[in-house]
Every structure is written in structure tokens, then in C-alpha cells.
Amino acid sequence: MPELKTTPLTRHFGVEVTGLPLADVVPSGRFDELRALFEEHSALLFRAQEFDDAAHLELANTFGPIEDRKADERQPGEEFTIPTVTNVRADSSLGGDLDLHRLHLESNFLWHSDSTFLPQPALTNIITARVVTTEGGATELASTRAAWAAMPEELRARIRGRGIWHHYAVSRAKISPELAKHPMFHKWPATHWNAVWTNPVNGHDALYVASHAYEVDGYGDAEGKALLAELIDFCTRPEFTYSHRWQVGDVLIWDQRAVLHRGTPWPENQPRTLSSICTSATDADGLDEMRMPCRDLRKVRERTAPTQSDLQEPRG
């Protein structure tokens, strides 16, 4: 059995892992080792993996329920297919500047945690590079756990104990009002999560925020949005971030409870494809403690969807 070794990705979070081939983790009974690294370091990098779709699905299933945003669209008997983050269309063409598919990809350039807008948000993303570009196209990670630990108490006190509202269309409106109108971004009502996620394994706290967030309990519209922007700016300072330049066969696994991420642009004439499976958080991952009541400690408006003002933010 190869010796497991880790090398830090940054001073605050993340490790590159060797000696633990991902395709063998589940069959060899070594998943507990992987899960312990995941809980401790929040982000794991594995290079040059032989990691096909079957191994990808097997590992994801071991983390927890596989997220399936298109379950309601699938025909009877139609199997789940691994989602891809790609600019390659079904006809093998590349999308243009104003293409809604391209705009949807561009929204991934905003700092976010996946699926904060779902009734059962994501625990992890397991993502691997299938086709890479010669430049650009990096994936950047930011540790909201490390940032929360380093954050001035004055700023933490402004958000601690409060709920944050999230909706899928909000992040898309930051890119294009037309994109935000698409039905797929209105399939789920707004969610209301505690601003801080406590890891039940080690007790570490992490700020839980995303580009999908639009309102903070106890604050007015403008004040709440300003606070969300201030928090994200703090969490994405260089000392809390890692930028990964992809090579084919690389696999990144990160903790969606404690890590923000975003993509970076790449030449539009170059194809890029990443295979990505999110698994859903469960009560064992601390989800039950994240659910907030439908009213704030003070005077929040009850909300099932963002207002028009939330969907009219200028493109930045």
C-alpha cells in the first residue's frame, strides 16, 4: 500500500495528496482516510489521476447523496449523467459572447459556494479536468474557515447569529438580466441559512455566503448587500485563496461548507471541459443546525423569493 503524503497548497488551507489513488480509495477501504483529510484541510488536490466516470460516481456516492438538479427533467428510465462545466455545445461548437450558455459560464466567475439556493445544499464538489486550455481557465478557492478565524471581531459580530437569504437567479442577474429570467434559475424558492457553518467533526466555524446571497436578517436592503460584499471581499483576500491551473487528470475536492470558489476566463476559441459532481450535505454534516426560522431575531421580512431590486444589480 503506497504511503500517504500531503503537501500544503497554502499556509491556511488545502493540501496536495499523494499515495492515495482516487480510483482505489473506495475499493481499498481507505475512504475514511480521505474523509479525515477533507474535514481537516477543506481542499484536496490529486494530480495525474486515472479517474473515469465510474470511479467519479463511486467516490461521490461515498461522500453522500449525489446532487441532481435535473431530476425533474429526466425521462423515465433516463440515467443520471455527470455534469460538465464546459464551453463546448452539444453540436461541438463553442458558444458566442451573448449566448446564454456562455453567460451562465461567466456567472461561475463570481465567488460562490455551489447550491446554497437548494433545499439541500452541497457538501462537496469533486471535479476533474478532461480538456484544458493553454492559458486561463483556472479554478480559484477561498477558505471562509481561515478567513472567519482571522476576521476582526467587529465584523464577525455584525453577521454572527444571523440568517442569510439565497436564490439562484440573484447570481445570474449580476451577469445578465435576461439570463436571470430563465426558468432553470427559478425552480427553487429562496433558502434561509445560518451565516456561520460549524463543522460537527472538529468544531471549526466557517462563514457561509455566496454570490447567490441577497439579504441579511436584521439589515435593510442596501446595508445588507454592502455587508455581504464586505464579507466576501475579506474572505477572498490573497492570504486565504488558492489558484489552480488545471492539467488533464487533476482532481480537486473541496468542502462547500467552508470554501468559496470561482472560475477564471480563458480564450473563447479554446475548448475547456471539467467533470463535476456535487454531493449534498446531510444532518450528519451539520445541515440541521444551519436551518434558520422564517423570521429574524429582530425584524426580517418573510421571504420566498428575491424582489425585483435584487434581480436588477448592474453587471460588474
Q: For residue 171, is it within any domain?
A: yes
Q: For residue 301, is it within any domain?
A: yes
Instruction: Pick the closest to residue 276 from 47, 114, 73, 93 (CA basis).
Output: 114
CB within 8 Å of 113: residues ≥ 6 apart: 121, 122, 208, 209, 210, 256, 257, 259, 260, 261
Q: For residue 316, is it within any domain?
A: no
How is residue 71 written as a grid cell? 431530476
Tens place of pLDDT per residue across the chain (316 aa): 678 999 999 999 999 999 999 999 999 999 999 999 999 999 999 999 999 999 999 999 999 999 999 888 888 888 899 999 888 876 666 654 446 777 878 899 999 999 999 999 999 999 999 999 999 999 999 999 999 999 999 999 999 999 999 999 999 999 988 888 889 899 999 999 999 999 999 999 999 999 999 999 999 999 999 999 999 999 999 999 999 999 999 999 999 999 999 999 999 899 999 999 999 999 999 999 999 976 544 434 445 567 767 776 544 3
What is the C-alpha separation between 127 and 56, in angstroms, rounded?
A: 9
Counting every residue, how long is the chain? 316
Number of Cβ atoms within 10 Å of the Cβ of 165: 26
**Angle between the N-to-C axes of helices 53-63 and 31-41, in degrees from 0 to 180, rounded to the nearest 10:** 70
CATH number of domain containing 85 = 3.60.130.10
What is the C-alpha separation between 239 and 270, in angstroms, rounded?
A: 31
Look at the block and give the residue holding cell 465567488.
111
Q: For residue 226, is it within any domain?
A: yes
**Domain span including residue 152:** 5-311
How is residue 286 written as a grid cell? 451539520
For the chain, how many structural domains are there in total? 1
Q: For residue 217, is it within any domain?
A: yes
What is the C-alpha separation between 299 and 314, in angstroms, rounded?
A: 28
Predicted structure pTM score: 0.91
SS3 216: strand
- Asked whether the beta carbons of 144 and 209 are under 8 A apart, the reply is yes
